[in-house]
Structure formats: C-alpha cells, structure tokens
C-alpha cells in the first residue's frame, strides 16, 4: 500500500468517526474498514402495507400502519490496499425492508459513483447517496406495499407505481451477491419495523426540549412523559406527584392527562414507571376493583371476611360464592330465602324509602315484588320518624307521649304514670310537683 493511499484511508475513517455517532458508525478493529447504519428520512405519515398472495398467511392479511422510521440500510465495507488510487472499497449492502432487486440496483449505482470518482475517496458520496436519494432512486412512495409469497417469506417490495419496465427482475439468481436481505419471515419483519420506529421516535423525543405546563420549566424529553393519544407532555416529577395523589385518594379513573378537558389516559406502564412498584400495586388493585364494580353481572360476597367477586345469573336471585361456599340472595344480601320476600333491615328500608317514593307505579310494583309490602313498611317508618321527632317514651312503660301544651308534669296515657317531660324522671303519685321545688332538679316551665 502506498503512503498516499494509507493516509487517505486513515483520514477518511477519522472523518467518518467524527461525523457519525457510535451507534451509526463502527470502525473495524482488525482491518481497514467498518460498518455504517443509514436511516432514511421518510415523508410525513409514511404508510407501509402488506399484501399476501397466500390463503393461509392470516398474519399478513390487511396489515397497514404508519411509521416515522424504517430500519437502516447497512453498508459494510473494507478498504483494499489499492484504495483509493486504483481499487474501489469491497462492500455489502443489507436491509430488512428492501428486496434483493432493489439492493442490487443500489450496489450498481455505488459502482457507478466509484467510476465517476476513481482515484478519490468515495465513502462519503456513497453515504450521501444512500441517505438522501434512495427513496427517489427506487421510486419508493407511500403507501409502500409488501408482497408476500405463498410460503410466507418476503420476496418483493415495491411502491404501487413500480412497473416491470423499471429495471427490476423477479427471476431468482439474478441479484447482486453483495445485496443481502436480512429477514426471516413477514411477521418478524413487521415486528422489527414497528419496534424500530417506536425506538427511534423515543430517541428523538428524549433529545427534544419541552415546556411542562405544571411547573412551567423547560426540560428534555428524557425527563418527561407524553400521552400518546393527545401528545401533551409533562415533566416526570410533576406527573409523579399528580398520579400519587390520585392513587392515594382512590381516584384511579382520574389518571389521565392533566390538560383541562383532555381525556387521554396514562398507560399502566407509564403509571408504574412514575409511581413505583408498591403504589402501582395499589393502583392496579383499585382499577381492577372499579372495573368489576362497573360490570352488571358481578356482585360481591356479602360476608365481611370474604368479599370475593361473584358472577350472578340475571335470571336467578341466588348468588353462590365459590370461595367461602356462601349461598345468598342477590337482592337483600342475606342468606338465600327462596321465593319468600326479602327481609328488610332498618338500614335497607331507609335506603329504599327515597327510591320507592320517587318511583313510578310500575317501578313500585317491582320493588314490592322483591321486598314485600313496602308501602305499609314505609308508612310505619314515617310514623316512627314522626314519633322520634315529636314524642318521648314513658320512663315506666315506654309508650310514646306527645306534649301539646301545659307544664312539664306528664301523665302517661297508657300506664297513668307521672313523669317529668324534661328529664324523664318518674314523679311521685301523691306529690308530683315536689320534683320542681328542688333547685337541683328541673325548673317548672
């Protein structure tokens, strides 16, 4: 190798090292060469689709998605002793989403660029061509269609505008040996494309500054969380505090975007990353509980020591807990009582009172069918409530006594016992007013 060639190779490799990041360009340790990964800049809303000509390949059928990035075209090269004075670089081009015919055309154009620049370093012109002109050179436009052969392997990719006259050959064995399509199956290809696009989007997001509308500080995306549906961005510290308060208060359905009137919801992965394992477990448990509460066919075992969810049959009034083996009425939550009306506790009757009084006649009939004679029960309840508000029990026989007027010496209409209305003490039958003569007792009003 001449001194001039050696210096030119070293200068070119050093230039590539300074221009491209470590994850883009890797210089070979042993030989004079390396590998560079070249991501193309796609148009906005670039759509890839899969068209299968196989009746059995259900995965590929009707697949379509929008991507922001496609996996890189990888240029592996080795610089021979005569480069750049007499010999071109030895190279291969590999890609997951370009077909062997397309890669072969790119290889041929790299050869043409060498011929045009013979005697000069050529790696940077090659790189510029691949990054900036591949889409136009191969006439790749959105939507980009992937055709699938009957054995499920990708054999051809092209834009719908491509025609056989564009120079592609579908005959196997006519491709450039330097063109390598690095893909095993259609399903693997699609997964790799979607995963790569998501990873690159995150990489771009992490390095971009955003203004948090909670603390009003500008932070890099790596310190922020964004909601995918609405694309609103907040810093992780603010969102962490916001979510922790919601979870501790049990408001698990409020873990949405803090933007006013925005309904975007945080993913479980985002919540777990922000609040940690312990608080996320509480969130997960409360979310599951609230989801069960919204299901019409799910009730809970009424035993306080159990409380397990039970699936109920809408045609049956009996619920059966498979954990504690308790059979209960799904209406009154008491032990199952067959066709007999539900026995109402005082608490349950109070709950039903307002519902029954506000119900239409048909709704009242349905409630009476469940719980028996609610009309009389509620009238009795109203009477008890009136008595509690307007009467006092006789201290001797506990009969309710109403005071209309007069002094505080009362005579029970049931047992004729004298008592004080103020303190409910039993009074002397011979001298009931003696009670009021003592200043330490009640004062006569």
Selected residue with higher pLDDT from 349 and 89: 89
407 is catalytic: yes
For range 412-431, the mean pLDDT: 88
Asked whether residue 251 is assigned to any structural domain, the reply reads yes
pLDDT at 41 over 80: yes
Flag whether 415 is in a domain.
Answer: yes
Helix axes 268-275, 277-293, angle to 10 degrees: 140
- pLDDT tier at 19, thresholds 50, 70, 90: very high
Q: Are residues 23 and 141 in the same domain?
A: yes
Task: Answer whether residue 168 is part of any domain.
Answer: yes
133 belongs to a structural domain: yes
SS3 320: strand
**188 and 317 in one domain?**
no
What pLDDT, on the 0 to 100 scale, is given for residue 333? 77
166 lies in the same domain as 228: no
pLDDT reported for residue 303: 87
What is the per-residue pLDDT for 161? 40
The total number of structural domains in the chain stands at 5
Whole-number Å distance between alpha carbons of 183 and 96: 5
Q: What is the pLDDT of residue 174?
A: 65
Determine the pLDDT at residue 265.
86
47 and 129 both lie in a single domain: yes
Residue 378 belongs to a domain: yes
Domain boundary among 148, 165, 199: 199
Question: Bridge partners of 145?
Answer: 49, 158
d(CA 200, CA 181): 21
Whole-number pLDDT of residue 237: 92
Q: Which pLDDT belongs to residue 156?
A: 38
Query: For the segment 139-194, what is each residue's pLDDT rounded down to a tens digit?
Result: 998 888 765 443 433 333 333 343 333 344 444 446 888 998 877 777 777 888 88
pLDDT the model gives residue 278:
84
Write the pLDDT tens digit of every residue in 267-276: 888 888 888 8
Specify the CATH number for the domain of residue 219: 3.30.40.10
Which CATH number do you get for residue 32? 3.10.110.10
* The pLDDT value given to residue 369: 65
136 and 230 share one domain: no
Question: How much is the pTM?
Answer: 0.56
Same domain assignment for residues 404 and 356: no
pLDDT grade, residue 89 (50/70/90)? very high
pLDDT at position 297: 76
Annotated catalytic residue, options 407, 412, 415, 442 = 407
What is the number of alpha carbons within 13 Å of residue 390 lying toward its C-beta? 9
Do 82 and 191 lie in one domain? The reply is yes
pLDDT at 287: 76
More confidently predicted of 11 and 332: 11
Per the omega criterion (within 30 degrees of 0), is the bond before 60 cis? no
Q: What is the mean pLDDT of residues 42-71?
A: 70
Residue 204 in any domain: the answer is: no
Mean pLDDT value across the chain: 81
Residue 46 has pLDDT above 90, yes or no: no
Query: 291 vs 414, which has greater pLDDT?
Result: 414
Report whether pLDDT(401) > 80.
Answer: yes
152 located within any domain: yes
Looking at the structure, do residues 135 and 194 belong to the same domain, yes or no?
yes
Does residue 269 share a domain with residue 146? no
Same domain for 112 and 134, yes or no, is yes
Write out pLDDT tens, residues 322-332.
889 988 888 77
Measure the CA–CA gap between 320 and 302, rounded to whole angstroms: 10
Q: Is the pLDDT assigned to residue 288 strictly greater than 50?
A: yes
Say what the pLDDT of residue 234 is.
92
- On whether residue 301 sits in a domain, the answer given is no
Sheet of strand 90-95: strand arrangement: 25-27, 33-38, 73-78, 90-95, 179-181
Domain that holds residue 31: 3-199
The pLDDT score that the predictor gives to residue 444 is 54
- Rounded to an integer, the average pLDDT of 417-426 is 88
Average pLDDT over residues 300-316: 83
Are residues 373 and 353 part of one domain? yes
Nearest to 225 by CA among 215, 234, 216, 238: 234
Q: 135 with 247, same domain?
A: no
Per-residue confidence band for 378, with pLDDT thresholds at 50, 70 and 90: confident
């Amino acid at each position: 190798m001449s001194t001039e060639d050696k210096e030119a190779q070293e200068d070119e490799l050093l230039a590539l090292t300074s221009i491209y990041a470590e994850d883009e360009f890797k210089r070979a340790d042993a030989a004079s060469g390396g590998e560079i990964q070249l991501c193309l800049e796609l148009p906005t809303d670039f759509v890839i689709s899969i068209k299968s000509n196989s009746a059995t390949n259900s995965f590929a059928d009707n697949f379509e998605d929008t991507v922001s990035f496609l996996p890189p075209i990888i240029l592996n090269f080795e610089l021979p002793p005569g480069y750049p004075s007499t010999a071109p670089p030895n190279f291969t081009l590999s890609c997951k989403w370009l077909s062997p015919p397309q890669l072969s055309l790119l290889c041929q154009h790299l050869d043409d660029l060498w011929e045009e620049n013979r005697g000069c370093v050529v790696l940077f012109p090659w790189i510029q061509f691949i990054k900036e002109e591949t889409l136009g050179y191969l006439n790749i436009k959105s939507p980009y269609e992937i055709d699938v052969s009957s054995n499920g392997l990708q054999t051809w990719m092209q834009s719908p505008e491509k025609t056989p006259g564009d120079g592609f050959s579908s005959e196997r064995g006519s491709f450039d040996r330097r063109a390598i399509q690095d893909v095993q199956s259609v399903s693997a290809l699609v997964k790799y494309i979607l995963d790569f696009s998501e990873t690159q989007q995150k990489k771009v997001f992490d390095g971009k500054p955003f203004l948090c509308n909670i603390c009003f500080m500008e932070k890099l995306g790596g310190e922020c969380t964004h909601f995918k549906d609405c694309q609103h961005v907040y810093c992780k510290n603010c969102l962490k505090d916001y979510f922790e308060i919601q979870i501790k208060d049990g408001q698990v359905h409020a873990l949405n975007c803090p933007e006013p009137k925005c309904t975007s919801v945080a993913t479980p992965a985002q919540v777990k990353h922000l609040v940690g394992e312990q608080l996320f477990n509480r969130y997960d448990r409360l979310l599951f509980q609230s989801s069960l509460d919204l299901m019409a066919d799910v009730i809970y075992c009424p035993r306080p020591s159990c409380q397990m969810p039970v699936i109920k049959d809408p045609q049956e009034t009996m619920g059966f807990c498979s954990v504690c083996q308790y059979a209960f009425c799904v209406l009154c939550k008491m032990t199952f009582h067959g066709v007999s009306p539900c026995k109402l506790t005082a608490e349950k009757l109070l709950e039903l009172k307002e519902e029954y009084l506000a119900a239409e006649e048909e709704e009242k009939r349905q409630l009476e069918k469940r719980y028996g004679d609610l009309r009389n029960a509620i009238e009795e309840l109203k009477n008890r409530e009136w008595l509690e508000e307007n009467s006092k029990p006789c201290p001797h026989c506990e009969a309710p006594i109403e005071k209309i007027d007069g002094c505080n010496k009362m005579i029970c209409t049931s047992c004729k016992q004298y008592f004080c209305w103020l303190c409910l003490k039993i009074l002397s039958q011979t001298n009931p007013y003696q009670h009021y003569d003592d200043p330490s007792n009640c004062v006569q009003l």
